[in-house]
Structure formats: structure tokens, C-alpha cells
Structure 1
Amino acid sequence: MRGNTWSAIDTEAADDDARRLATVMHVAFFVLLCSSLARFLMRHPGAPATPWVVALALALALLYVLGPVLGPKEDLAPRDPTAASRLWLAAVIGTWLTLVVLAPSFGWCAVPLFYTGLRSLRTRSAILLVSLITVFVVAAQVQLRLRFGFDPNLLFAPPAVAAVATAVFIHSQRQAVRLRAVITDLVRTRRELAATERREGALAERQRLSMEIHDTLAQGLSSQQMLFQAADRLWAGDPETARRHVRSAASIAEHNLAEARRFVHDLAPADLAGGGSLGDALRALAARETTDTLRIRFHQDSAPAAPLPDRIQSALLRIAQGALANVREHADATTAALTLTHLDDQVVLDIADNGRGFVPTERTGDGVRGHGLPAIRARVRGLGGTLTIESTPGEGTVLTAAIPLEPVP
């Protein structure tokens, strides 16, 4: 839309320039026509041709006034002349030629007529017409002044004026064509860029939604599945523990339901709804994810000096959910710890476990399956932060996400 607006503004500006030039030429034509008629009447009072000259001058003025209706459009863009435009131009040129034969002083009207011919015809035809008009003017002036002796100006001045006028107009016309081509290319490029941005935005939104679903609903369903499997194994021998697993699964299902409803509204984490703090949300997450086989603790080093932006709180909560999902599904850990640290210029979230560990270069490259670590890395990168993974096989894993509190340029 913006590209279309700029194109319209540029085109209108070019058309305005063309209309101003046309106005100057129209005024010049009528000034020269009136001055030529006045000169004839002053120099040849009572001449037999006077009625014809006056009538033809009025006819020429009337024909010229009809130009906006029958003549070419007031712009510099080359156009194919219409039949009405050709007929109008022929009538104007024919009337003017007759006037010049009767009164050579009307030859001064040739310059505005150059412009009229150049606007009305294609370049080659217009140049031919300008040449014909120039020859006619020179012949008429030379014939009139032969009795006073040869004057080189009468022979060379009209062609020079015609050449300059034609060159200036053709140059302006070609510049206008180039400008329109540039505007067209610019508008097309803007449209392509806008389409590309829309596609990239749609892909980014799809990736964001996939991460949101992975970090919430998918993890909740995975936890429920593990709890139900544990309850099924223990139901006969330890029904009380089995019921506890079922209750935990029901709690997770309730939380997932809240998350699903939140997706419908604004995709904000349910734990942060109602103005809850990130520390409270992480504490609730640790309690909810704690099971008989995995104990999760939460610790907050210090309180924030100011409330964290919603975007950072939401991202850190999702990172914690994704990291705990990896601990639960892959680490075979018995304990995990969430540590939230508020510094002057950044907030740091550590997720540590005592699981089996791994070699980070083997698990964080292009060959990673699933959405866990890639989703976490994408969230951290989107906030201008850094993600550090320290792990050794058999010695557990520490994942650290550091998010700057000031926007990164």
C-alpha cells in the first residue's frame, strides 16, 4: 500500500511538471498569435487580405482552444496519436501555414507549435513535422526580406531554435519515460519485499507456535503419559502411590487445559496470567513437575529491581519448561534445580540436573531431533541473549540462559 502511494505521488509530480510546461507553451502561443496579428494590422492597415488574416487568426485560436478535447494529453509520456488528435493537429498546422503565407510575421508562432507537434506524434513523425515547419518559416521570412538584402539570421536562426526546442523536449520525454520505468520497478520491488516479509513473518509465527506447543501442551501430555504408565505398574502392589500419580496427571491435565485456553486468547503462559511474577511461575513449575522419581527445586538469588518485561518472563518460563522436559525424557535424573539470578544488566536462568549427561557438540548441532534444545536456542537468540550448555557424560548437565535487560541493537 505504501509503495502504491509513493508511486502515485511521483507520477502526479511528473504530470504536474508536464502540465506546467504545457501551460507556459499555451500562453506563449496566444501571446505570439496576438502580437503577430497586431503587427500585421499596424504594418498593413487596409490591406485586402486583412479580413482573411483576422478570420484565420480567430479560427486558429479556436482550434487551439479545442486542444484539451481533441489534442494530446498534458504529459510527457509518448502515446499513439488518435484519429481525432491527428485531425486536430492537421487543422491547426494547415490554418497556421495559410496565415504565414498571408502574413509571414505569424511564423513566430512556430515555437509553441513545435511543442504541440512533439506532444501529438511519435518522435520520428514529430521531428519530420518540426523540420517541415522550420523550412516553411525560413522560406516565408527569406522571401519577405529579400528586398532588404540577405540576412543570415533568417536562414540559420529558425533551424537552431527548432533544434534546441526539439532536443529539450525529446530529452524531457525520455527522462519522463525512464522515471516511470524506475517508479514501476521500485513499486514491484517493494511489493516483492512486502510479500517476502509476510512469508518470513508467517514462517516465524509457525515456528513460534510450534515452540509454544512443544513447551506446554506436548510436555504436559508427555508427563501425563509417564505418570499413567507408572500408575498402571503400581496399581496392584501400591494403589496409594498409583492414585498419587493419577492425581498428579490430573493436575497437569488441568494446567494444560488452562494453557490451551490461553492459546485461544493471547498465547501468554498461564502461570504468568493475572500479573504473577516469573519467580512464582518457576516455583509453581518446579512443584508441578516434581514426581517420586524426579525432585525439582527452585531458588531465586535476588529480587529484580524492576518488573521484567512480559516478553522476557514468558520466554524464560518456556525455556525452563523445555529444559525440564528434556531432563525428564532424556537425562534419567533424580534431581534438578532451577536458579533465577537478577543482575544489573541481565537476568540469568540456570537449569541443572544430575542425569546421564551428554557431549553438547553431539546434541546441539544440525542433527538434533525434536524441538527441545533448538527451540530453547531460538528463544534465547530472539531476545539477544546467550545460551551455554555444560555437560559431561555421567556427570549431569547445566543449561544457562542469559537475557540482557536492555534491547540489543
Structure 2
Amino acid sequence: MDRLSAPARLMIVSDLDHTMVDHHDPENLSLLRFNALWEFYYRHDSLLVFSTGRSLTLYNELRKEKPLLTPDITIMSVGTEITYGTAMVPDDGWVEILNQKWDRNIVVEETSKFPELTLQSETEQRPHKISFYVDKAKAQEVTSALSKRLGERGLDVKIIYSGGVDLDILPQRAGKGQALAYLHKKFTSEGKLPVNTLVCGDSGNDAELFSIPGVHGVMVSNAQEELLQWHAENAKDNPKVIHATERCAGGILQAIGHFSLGPNRSPRDVTDVAHSNTENMNPGHEVVNFNLFYERWRRAEVENCETYIASLKAVCHPSGFFVHPSGIEQPLHDSISAIRRIYGDKQGKQFRVWVDSVLPIQISSHTWVVRFKKWESCGEERQSCLCTAVLTSSKEAGGLEIFTWMHLHETWSKGTEAKDSASWLI
């Protein structure tokens, strides 16, 4: 909440499974396209919010499996938990709101009387969420009877059926939409309501998101029947909600362009990363482009020529140094020269490089410190480093800002060290 001093240019609030994350995309290309766009154009002045039905346990499991960025805010367990930042600091005010007219013990007692309900795993049972599986044919009947019985016991609950099998019981004040409304209220009280909010979903538990006043919304092309039906009954005449023609994160990119919320062409869609020029450049652009080129070099997706090596050296100061995660120091130009020998070593393999939480801080008129996390994955193996770079800026005759790398220091992220340090070059 405090990272930005002014209202966010854009706040994206997205479901994860089958919305941001495409489980039918083994190479995670649509997600990686979104990641590059976000870190390139939006991270420095916008907010990323993940709103998921997953508990903290399953959310962390997904982060180990997929190349997810670090969100500014995480809404978990179908809107019953709100946390902030990488430390995932809980919002105590939200907990107080959810405690009103909610008694978990009564819910457990009453649901035990319904043999149609099968309790989900212990990880999915949370202080303000009790989750079951129920057969689709019995879902409506069970929901109606259970809602009436809990009301008679003095509780005010919300029952959400989604995915054709999941049934969640929450406090009436909970839910993805209510959590977003709560965040909007907090931002408004601080004078920092985002200029635009885009909500993204695919299933029934995302429907509430599209009802929040003023938001833009995208149902991804693979949205489930229950969400499409809700839209037909409640929002078919709302021009701010679209049904994308692209799946998952690709549909989110499509919506950014459709609503003119900002650039929506991912740097991954630019063929020649090494020579791409962008108006209003910032150090984040340089970080994203540098690492995208590195991935393509190792995948042999760019030509093996000295021109590229020379262009990389041109953006590194001759006296600049690189500190390898192992602690070894060497000139940046030597590090660039070293990549000649690994051209195409990952050709045909599922090798990907992405950066996360790229945050530039200007420390003088022409000097920036950029902190970010860099990831490399090859098949099931992953390595990650915490990076600190110092870059200086200058302007060409045409007014284009050029950034020069002065220093790059990397340290292994805890638990993600490379098995062979020599394979991690820069």
C-alpha cells in the first residue's frame, strides 16, 4: 500500500488458475509474456494483485511450479485473506470485518448433516473459509438448504459454487469482490485510488470482481460456463466487461489493449530485443531487454554474430564490474565475452529467463539503483538470484535516453542456488 506515493496508473486484479496461469501451456508462454510486459512497463507505477481461491499452502506450491511474479497484494482463500508485499503482512482490519456474524464451529456442525458434501483437504480449511466438494447435480439443492439452515442459526454466510465441483462457505462480507471493494475504500481514504482497475477471471468465484463499480473486466476465452452464465444474466450490457478471444494471460494482455489502459505488446513479442528502442525508457526496460536477449542467445533464437556482443558491451561501462553469486568478481565486459561459448547451449530445451520485482530508484540526476530478482529455469530445475544493479543515464541527439550498466551484484536466493555455479554466467 505504501510503495507508490501517487495513485497507481493501473491495478490488475487477477485470478490465478486458468486465468493468469494456463495449466495447458507447458512452457508457460502466455504467463511469461505477461511477466515481461508488467516488469517492462508497469511495475514501477502500478499494482499487481493476485486474487485466488487457493490457500497459502497451495498458493506457495503454485509459485514453485509456475513463473509467477511477486504481487503487491495477495487475496487468498476466496477473498477471506488479504496480505501485502513479499512478507505477506496480513490485513487485521479485514479480519475484524469478517468476524461479524460468523461462527466457524456452527458451520462445521451444520455441514456435517449433509452427506452430499465431501470436505476438501486440511490445507483448504481456513479461519473464514470451509471448503467442500459436491456433485454438480446436487449443488443447487444443497446450497439452498444449507443457506437456510445457517441463516436460522444466526449466521450471515456466503456460499460460492465454482469449477463444477467446489463449494466454499464464507462470511457474507467475504469474497473476491468484497475484498477488492475493501481495498478500493482503503486507497480512496489515502487519496490513492488507482486510475484504472482491470479484473480478470474464469470461474464462478470470480463473478463478484466484475460487479465492483468502475472496474474494467475480462473473462478469458477459456472461462467456465458458470461465469459466462452469470455474465449473460447480470452484465451482458456492460461495455466495461469483455470475453477475450485469447486464453489466460493472453486474454489479460488483450484486455489491456481493448480498454486502452496502456501498452499491451509484450517485449517477448519484439523480435530483435537487443536493438529495440522505446519511448520514455527507464532502467526497468534495460533490465528486461538484457535478460530476454540472454535467454534468446542461449536458445539460439538470435543470430550468433559479433554485432550483438558489441551492442551488449556498448551498454556496459568499460570499468564496470559484475559480482557473481559465488562471490567472484570480474569486469562486465569479460562477462559479456564469456557468453560467446554458450551460444545455443539450451537450443530445443525448455530454458527460460525472467525477472521479477524490477524496482528502479533514482539516487542522482543520472544514476539509478535497480533491484530485482532474476530467474532461470530449464525443465524442472530452477535457480534464482537477488540482483542489485547501478546504471547511469545519458541522452542521445534525438532525445532517446540510454542506460549504461556500471555495476551488477548478484546473490543466490535462499534455497535456489545453481547446482553448478559455472552454468550461471550473468
TM-score normalized with structure 2 length: 0.20
CA radius of gyration, larger in:
1
Which structure carries more relative contact order (alpha carbon 8 Å, separation 6+)? 2
TM-score normalized with structure 1 length: 0.20
More strand by share: 2
More helix by share: 1
